[in-house]
Amino acid sequence: MLTAGISTAQTTPLDSAKVLVASNRTRDAIPVLERLIKADPHLAAHNYFLGLSLVREGIRISEATGYLEKAAGLYAATDVNPGMGEPELVHFYLTIAYSRQRECKKALARYYELVEVYSGSDPFYPNEAMKWVVLCNEPQRMAQEMTASPETSTSRPVVRDRLVAVRQGLSPKDSVVTRPVEFSTQSVLYGVQVGALVRPTYTVHFPGLKNVGVYVDENGIYRYVIGNLTYRSQAEKLLQQVREAGYPDAFIVDINNPERFREEVVLLNEIGIQRQLKGDVEFRVQIGAFTDVLPEQLAKLYMRLDGLHEVRTAELTLLMVGSFSDYDEALREKEKMTRAGFADAFITAFNKGQRIPVSMALQHLQNNKDVEHLKEGGNNKHR
């Protein structure tokens, strides 16, 4: 089963750390980031994410301050656009770090830095930073804040989980289409986050779950969330169901401002992000493509190969061979085509005549196997 910390084979260690941070698992992110700091102590992102993770956990605050100050200097030196999320929020975490160390003048100075460069429409970060500036001058209240319940403590979480739409972190091969989201209520809305990814994927890769929405946060992390519920008690019931479905790392997300959901991911590579497959899937091997003119080399294939298929797109005609319900059979056919001289041959997948990603087809087959296994288990109990 996939969990709230799922990642892909193509992710870097920094990507993995970002996913952990996005999943409220900063304690797990810290050792990953410490290794990255040792490997490259001069990268702004390494210092930034380690600093914020330590602040969120409420540990080693003096050390966290050093990392964040270094990140702030590196961002300033490279003239990174402060509207991209990280450079401006480094001032937010420094405000908290200095407040916790009772260095109130430095905390106030960082608060002013944050207000000067902050480009977001959501007032949460400036308001939360000001709260810590006030707490810095009221040590008794700060002590109460730091010993409060996990829901309100500085360690978990100082920052509520924000969902916003920023197109970052995409693979060059990915094409993402989003749409505006409008809510009928201005009150608090809750959801359950079931996954966080650096590279987007289809919701079919979350087996056992339906109605999963996809959003992008300020660090380019794709978040997979179920539900827009008015009461936290409702979200807690949903969270229980999600965890029982095999997602133990799922957690409740606070959604206090609909502007954070201005857009949601609708299409990934021209296919609906929430598309659910029905019926059988079919694998084929693509061996060529052409426009309005059929190349002579491909024309000769009609005389040599059985079972050729033409699939027409808006710009191309794709030439394919074979039709297999089993992926391994398609793989053997692809290897056969490669030996025959089609070095660029590759496997494609279809469902009800429409082309789909091979990964989606394989997940569909796996889901069907899981369902059959459960049915067999139930039948055996009644024998």
Domain 25-146: CATH superfamily is Tetratricopeptide repeat domain (1.25.40.10)
Q: Find the range with the poorest average confidence among 28-32, 41-45, 228-232.
A: 228-232
- The CATH architecture one would assign to domain 176-272 is 2-Layer Sandwich (3.30)
Q: Examine the pLDDT at 155 and tell me if it is beyond 50.
A: no
The domain segmentation of the chain, as residue ranges, is: 25-146, 176-272, 281-363
Find, among 85, 35, 44, the residue nearest to 68 by Cα: 44
Please state, rounded to an integer, the average pLDDT across all residues of the chain.
Answer: 75
CA dist., res. 162 & res. 152, Å (int): 16
CA dist., res. 228 & res. 182, Å (int): 12
134-147 tens-digit pLDDT: 888 776 666 655 54
250 contacts 192 by C-beta, under 8 angstroms: yes
Confidence class for position 150, pLDDT limits 50, 70, 90: very low
Same topology, domains 176-272 and 281-363? Answer is: yes
What predicted TM-score, i.e. pTM, was given to this entire model?
Answer: 0.53
**Predicted pLDDT of residue 363:** 81
Computed on alpha carbons and rounded to an integer, the radius of gyration of the chain in Å comes to 25
139 contacts 102 by C-beta, under 8 angstroms: yes
Say which residue, 382 or 86, is predicted with more confidence.
86
**Predicted pLDDT of residue 31:** 93
Mean pLDDT of all residues in 82-95: 76
- % of the chain exceeding 90 in pLDDT: 13
225-254 tens-digit pLDDT: 888 888 888 889 999 999 998 888 888 876
Q: Examine the pLDDT at 151 and tell me if it is beyond 90.
A: no
Q: Examine the pLDDT at 36 and tell me if it is beyond 90.
A: yes
Instruction: Output phi, psi for 372, to 5 deg.
Output: -65, -40
Residues 6+ apart with CB under 8 A from 336: none
Domain 281-363: CATH superfamily is Sporulation related repeat (3.30.70.1070)
CA dist., res. 97 & res. 20, Å (int): 21
The number of residues making up the chain comes to: 383
Q: Examine the pLDDT at 313 and tell me if it is beyond 50.
A: yes
Amino acid code (one letter) for 165: A
